[in-house]
Amino acid sequence: MTRQRLWFQLLWSAAALMMWTCQVSAATQYVGTCHKPSSVAINDAIKMAAAGDVIKVCPGLYDEQVIISKSLTLEGMAISGQGLVQVVNPAGNSESTISTVTGYSLTPVIWVAAASVNVSNILVGNYATGVLCQSTTPVSNLNVGFYFGNGSSGTLNNVAANIGCGAGVWLENSSDLGGGMVKVENSVIWGDLYGIFAGGGPHQVDTAPLLLATITGNQVEHAQYGIYIADIGGTVSNNSIDSPASPTSVVIVYPYSPSVGVMDAAPDAVVTGNRVTQEVTGIGILTANVIVTSNHILSAGGTEAGIDLHCFLGNVSNNMLQIRGGSNHDASFGITDVPAGFAKVNHFYNTANLQSSGSCQ
């Protein structure tokens, strides 16, 4: 046998072995009662899974904090008449972590730790909508539905979160060692303090942000901030963001800040095509050079400003503010805290004052 032919056979054998290994590693694990064999708990299936596996979860209630530190897919199964896949944190028995971006203490329900994970068709938190925090003082620990921490990446698709005293979705990355690309799409999110938070750590000028987030096509409801982005790249687009009026029977005891649909402190991200409803401030700007275009802000009463620039210049253009019904002015200002030199065109209808310099000198 020639040396060339021997090398060919060895290479073919190695390639075949790699293909066989990949096929074996991409297994499917099951959780719940709708399939046998299966694991009882999601965490049990994660322990048995190899990187690249798919974990399918039967409908039912799973009382466990799910921590994922290997790359895989977590998928809720849709079975007619059997309800949803619902995951809740066990009372008094969950781990917390400190956000490397904000310093807040966070207690996630589903926690992605330095891995690439795709999650779909899962509800975290309660079935009841609009859970409010019952503390009379600011909380020291935030409950979080879905958490992607340092070095993590992946997707949330067609998921739901209903979280009080915290955030529905929390994305962050302050590490330059990898990860930091997350997509949240086609989901229904309630988080009373933050619907969706996305924050990156400081990075040098002219370098890529440490977190690239795509947040698109979601329905986000909240009491304080709808979508809050800070020092990230990516896009926030085509979301429906709402701060619904609480029923008169509900007593709000938590000291929430006035509601803001989108709070933008991310000059490397694009905020466009969103529909923002019933906010005290539709969109708030917290840094210079942001890109905020073609958003539709609808007020139903009580809106102080469609857009608050907080004295920062940026590409804030072609946004529209209008009331949802009636003919009275119901927004104090179309755009406020406008610095000298701002000349972008926006469109405001039935608004008492189109523009104000506010506190800017």
Question: Which of 86, 33, 77, 79 is CA-nearest to residue 55?
Answer: 77
Model confidence at 301, pLDDT cuts 50, 70, 90, reads: low
73-123 per-position pLDDT tens digit: 999 999 988 889 999 999 878 999 999 999 999 999 999 999 999 999 999
- Residues 211-239 have a mean pLDDT of 97
Distance CA 301, CA 34 (A): 48
Residue type for position 100: T
Q: What is the pTM of this model?
A: 0.90
Q: Residue 288 pLDDT more than 80?
A: yes
CB–CB of 194/167 below 8 Å? yes
Q: Residue 5 pLDDT more than 60?
A: no
- Residues 242-253 have a mean pLDDT of 70
Q: What is the pLDDT of residue 351?
A: 66
Q: Residue 16 pLDDT more than 50?
A: no
Distance CA 329, CA 177 (A): 51
Q: What is the pLDDT of residue 131?
A: 86
The encoded tokens of residue 233 equal 């790249």
Q: Do strands 97-98 and 105-112 pair parallel, antiparallel, or not at all (unpaired)?
A: antiparallel
Instruction: Output 262 or 360, whichever has higher pLDDT.
Output: 262
Q: What is the pLDDT of residue 124?
A: 97
Q: What is the pLDDT of residue 12?
A: 37
Cis check for the bond before 209: say yes or no (omega within 30 of 0): no
Phi, psi of 172 (to 5 degrees): -155, 155
Where in the chain are the domains?
58-279
Residue tagged 């993590």 (tokens) = 152
Sign of CA dihedral 320, 323, 327, 330: negative
- Secondary structure of residue 9 in the 3-state scheme: helix
